[in-house]
Structure 1
Amino acid sequence: MIKRLFCSGLAALGMVAVASAADTPASLMAHYAQAAGVPLASLSAARGAALYRAEHPGRNAQTVSCASCHTADPKQPGRSRVGKRIEPLAPAANPGRFTDAAKVEKWFRRNCGDVLQRECSAREKGDFIAWLSQVQ
Structure 2
Amino acid sequence: MNPRKKPPCVAGLALALLIAAQWPATALAADTSPAAQLQHWSTQAGSPGNAQRGQTFFNTRHGAEWSCASCHGTPPTAQGKHANTGKSISPLAPAFNPKAFTDTAKVDKWFRRNCNDVLSRECSAGEKADVLAYLNSLK
Aligned-pair distance for 1:66?
0.7
The equivalent of 1:85 in structure 2 is: 88
The equivalent of 2:127 in structure 1 is: 124
AA aligned opposite 1:100: D
The equivalent of 2:103 in structure 1 is: 100
Aligned-pair distance for 1:26?
0.9
The equivalent of 2:68 in structure 1 is: 66
The equivalent of 1:133 in structure 2 is: 136
Gap runs ≥5 in structure 2: none
The equivalent of 1:8 in structure 2 is: 15
Asked if 2 retains the 8 angstrom alpha-carbon contact of 1:22 and 1:99, the reply is yes
Asked if 1 retains the 8 angstrom alpha-carbon contact of 2:52 and 2:134, the reply is yes
Asked if 2 retains the 8 angstrom alpha-carbon contact of 1:20 and 1:101, the reply is no
Instruction: Say which of 56, 64, 88 aligns to 2:62.
Output: 56
TM-score in terms of structure 2 length? 0.80
Work out the CA distance in 1 between the residues paired with 2:56 and 2:102. Answer: 23
Q: How many residues align?
A: 129
Instruction: Say which of 15, 22, 30 aligns to 2:39.
Output: 30
Work out the CA distance in 2 between the residues paired with 1:22 and 1:56. Answer: 31
Instruction: Say which of 98, 112, 116 aligns to 1:113.
Output: 116
AA aligned opposite 2:59: R
Work out the CA distance in 2 between the residues paired with 1:99 and 1:127. Answer: 17
Asked if 1 retains the 8 angstrom alpha-carbon contact of 2:92 and 2:135, the reply is yes
TM-score in terms of structure 1 length? 0.82
Aligned-residue identity in percent: 42
Work out the CA distance in 1 between the residues paired with 2:92 and 2:131. Answer: 10
Work out the CA distance in 2 between the residues paired with 1:92 and 1:124. Answer: 20
Work out the CA distance in 2 between the residues paired with 1:64 and 1:125. Answer: 17
